[in-house]
Amino acid sequence: MVHFDVSDIRKNFPGLRRTMHGKPLIYFDTAATAQKPDVMIDRMADFMRNEYGTVHRAVYELAVRSTEQYSKIREKIVKFLNAELSEEIIFTRGTTESINLVATSFGKTFVNPGDEVLITEIEHHSNLVPWQMMCEERGAGLKVIPVNDAGELIIEEYEKLLSPKTKIVALAHISNAIGTLHPVKEIIAKAHNVGAKVLIDGAQAAPHMKVDVRDLQCDFYVFSGHKLYGPTGIGILYGKKELLDAMPPYQGGGDMIKEVTFKKTTYNVLPLKFEAGTPMIVEVMGLGAAIDYLNEIGLPTIEKHEQDLLRYATEKMTKIAGLRIVGTAKQKGAIISFVVAGIHSLDIGTMLDLKGIAVRTGHHCAQPAMRRFGLEGTVRISFGLYNTKEEIDLFIASLLQIIQLLKP
Q: Which residues are catalytic?
A: 365
Identify the burial level of 128 via C-beta atoms within 10 angstroms of its C-beta, where 0-12 means exposed, 13-18 middle and 19 or more buried. Answer: buried
> Helix 345-354 to helix 389-406 angle, to the nearest 10 degrees?
120
Note whether 160 and 337 are within 8 A (CB): no
Note whether 387 and 28 are within 8 A (CB): yes
Angle at 77 between CA 71 and CA 78, to 5 degrees: 90
Pick the closest to residue 92 from 59, 126, 124, 64 (CA basis).
Answer: 126
Note whether 284 and 299 are within 8 A (CB): no
Continuous segment of H or E residues that includes residue 305:
helix 299-317
Residue 230: phi and psi, rounded to 5, are -105, -165
Torsion of CA 16, 19, 25, 29, to 10 degrees: -80
Q: E strands within 264-334?
A: 265-267, 323-326
Pairing of strands 116-120, 166-172: parallel
Residues 6 or more apart whose Cβ sits within 8 Å of residue 2: 296, 297, 298
Note whether 282 and 44 are within 8 A (CB): yes
Angle at 199 between CA 198 and CA 203, to 5 degrees: 150
Cα separation of 145 and 218, whole Å?
Answer: 18
CB atoms within 10 A of CB 79: 10
Residue 37: phi and psi, rounded to 5, are -80, 155
Note whether 259 and 266 are within 8 A (CB): yes
Angle at 103 between CA 101 and CA 106, to 5 degrees: 90
Alpha helices in 154-280 (DSSP H): 155-161, 184-193, 213-216, 241-246
DSSP 147: B
Q: How far from chain centre, in Å, is Cα 294?
A: 15
